[in-house]
């Protein structure tokens, strides 16, 4: 097994090492939960202060024009687009994933009239599942939930819309976005990808893959802050045709004409509904500063190496404590997290947090450790797994206080 100096050497050779300085991380904490809530950056803090004092505080309503508030959902979308391999005018930053899924799934299903099956992944994130069920019910369609590897066998002539997560939030399994998109298209369907656990940690090429629609999260690996607006992408060929049902005035072609009839904006602005939350929107936009000059290829290489080291150390130190690695061991089949299984996952995660190692837990028995290549060091991984091994070895997690639950795990 590798000594700590091995991790130190990896840090010394890491071309992304300096990016950590862009983040305001608490001293002494090993934060392996950037896949749930990314940390704040120094430019986010400056930007939010500026919006409060100079923009809202001084320019007030004039800020919509004078400080670019009006453009923010689309200008932030254009800045985000290269991280998604999307054309800059096809991405909007707005609402939450849940709300965007409602808009996109409804609009997409209506583009395939007579095709009554909506298909999703059995393991999909709960909100994605709830929304597809709701849309199907509203439109009189039905949902088929299947294992991703069985997708193809379920495609019939009734296939309408397929909604999938690029990375399984629980196991970290990475799905082949390009080949599944091609298969769905061959079957005559449309595909909506949820990029919540891939945007910002790996190169994505939505245009090359011919993806129809995508949604994703602003507060995870993109570090946009708690409740940051989400994003939505649509392919150019659908722009003129997709009618989303939350026909609010900010998606209108001319909101301040105050017309009585809804006429959608010709572009991706039609995905907007009501007035955007400017403080959160500005924080999200400023969080993208951290990606300036960063190659997502390099980020992926580092993310893979961080996961490899984590898994190697777990195998060496924790194996005999009933811990299983459930993340795929093949790097190509993995997102940017390592998930372990243990019946007492909750208490172990709590005990780790007390020792300064923050991961999270997903029911029933999964410990998740997110590897954000922007700020995690190889020594953090080395230290974290040694703390985990010690927590398991000593059984400290059995103390009753580690079993008390809050609202968020």
Ligand X SMILES: *Cc1c(COP(=O)(O)O)cnc(C)c1O
**Total binding residues toward ligand X, as defined by CB under 6 A:** 13
Active site residue 95: no
Secondary structure percentages of the chain, helix, strand, coil, to 5: 50, 15, 40
Active site residue 125: yes
Least separation, in Å, of the C-beta of 216 and ligand X? 8
Q: What does the angle CA 276 – CA 65 – CA 94 come to, to the nearest 5 degrees? A: 20
Q: Counting contacts by CB under 6 A, is residue 196 touching ligand X?
A: yes
Query: Nearer Cβ to ligand X, position 78 or 132?
Result: 132
Closest CA to 94 of 104, 82, 108, 109: 104
Active site residue 194: yes
Least separation, in Å, of the C-beta of 33 and ligand X? 12
Burial level of 3, CB count in 10 A (0-12/13-18/19+)? exposed
Closest CA to 22 of 243, 287, 221: 287
Active site residue 176: no
Least separation, in Å, of the C-beta of 125 and ligand X? 3
- Phi, then psi, of 18 in degrees rounded to 5: -70, -15
The token duo for 103 is: 């808009």
Judged by CB under 6 A, the residue of 69, 155, 169, 221 near ligand X is 169
Judged by CB under 6 A, the residue of 230, 311, 345, 348 near ligand X is 230
Q: Counting contacts by CB under 6 A, is residue 55 touching ligand X?
A: no
Query: Nearer Cβ to ligand X, position 95 or 265?
Result: 95
Q: What does the angle CA 260 – CA 263 – CA 264 come to, to the nearest 5 degrees? A: 140
Which listed range, 81-89, 192-200, 293-301, 311-319, lies at the site for ligand X (CB under 6 A)? 192-200
Ranges within 79-108 binding ligand X (CB under 6 A): 96-98
Judged by CB under 6 A, the residue of 127, 154, 247, 409 near ligand X is 127
- Strand locations in 217-358 (E): 231-234, 324-325, 337-341, 357-358
Residues tagged active-site: 125, 194, 219-220, 368
Residues of this chain that interact with ligand X (CB under 6 A) are: 96-98, 125, 127-128, 165, 169, 194, 196-197, 217, 230
């Amino acid at each position: 097994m590798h000594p700590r100096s091995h991790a130190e050497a990896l840090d010394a050779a890491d071309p992304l090492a300096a990016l950590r300085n862009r983040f305001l991380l608490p001293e002494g904490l090993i934060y392996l939960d950037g896949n749930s809530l990314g940390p704040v950056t120094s430019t986010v803090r400056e930007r939010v202060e500026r919006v409060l004092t100079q923009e809202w505080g001084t320019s007030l309503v004039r800020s919509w024009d004078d400080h670019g508030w009006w453009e923010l959902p689309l200008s932030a979308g254009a800045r985000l687009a290269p991280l998604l391999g999307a054309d800059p005018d096809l991405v909007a930053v707005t609402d939450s994933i849940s709300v965007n899924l409602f808009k996109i799934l409804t609009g997409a299903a209506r583009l395939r009239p007579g095709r009554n099956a909506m298909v999703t992944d059995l393991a999909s994130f709960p909100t994605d599942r709830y929304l597809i069920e709701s849309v199907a019910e509203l439109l009189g369609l039905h949902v088929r939930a299947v294992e991703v590897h069985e997708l193809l066998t379920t495609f019939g002539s009734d296939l309408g819309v397929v909604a999938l997560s690029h990375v399984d939030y629980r196991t970290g399994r990475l799905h082949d976005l390009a080949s599944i998109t091609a298969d769905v298209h061959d079957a005559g369907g449309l595909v909506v990808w949820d990029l919540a656990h891939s945007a910002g940690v790996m190169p994505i090429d939505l245009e090359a893959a011919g993806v129809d629609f995508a949604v994703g999260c602003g507060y995870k690996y993109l570090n946009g802050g708690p409740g940051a607006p989400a994003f939505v992408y649509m392919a150019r060929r659908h722009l003129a045709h997709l009618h989303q049902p939350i026909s609010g005035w900010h998606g209108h072609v001319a909101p301040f004409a105050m017309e009585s009839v809804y006429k959608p904006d010709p572009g991706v602005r039609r995905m907007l509904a009501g007035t955007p939350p400017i403080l959160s929107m500005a924080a999200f936009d400023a969080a993208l500063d951290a990606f300036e000059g960063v190659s997502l290829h390099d980020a992926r290489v580092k993310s893979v190496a961080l996961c490899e080291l984590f898994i190697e150390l777990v195998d060496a130190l924790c194996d005999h404590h009933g811990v299983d690695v459930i993340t795929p061991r093949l790097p190509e089949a993995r997102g940017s997290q390592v998930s372990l299984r243990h019946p007492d996952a909750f208490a172990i995660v709590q005990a780790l947090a007390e020792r300064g190692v923050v991961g999270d837990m997903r029911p029933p028995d999964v410990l998740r450790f997110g590897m954000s290549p922007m700020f995690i060091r190889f020594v953090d991984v080395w230290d974290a797994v040694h703390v985990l091994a010690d927590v398991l070895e000593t059984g400290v997690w059995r103390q009753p206080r580690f079993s008390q639950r809050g609202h968020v795990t």
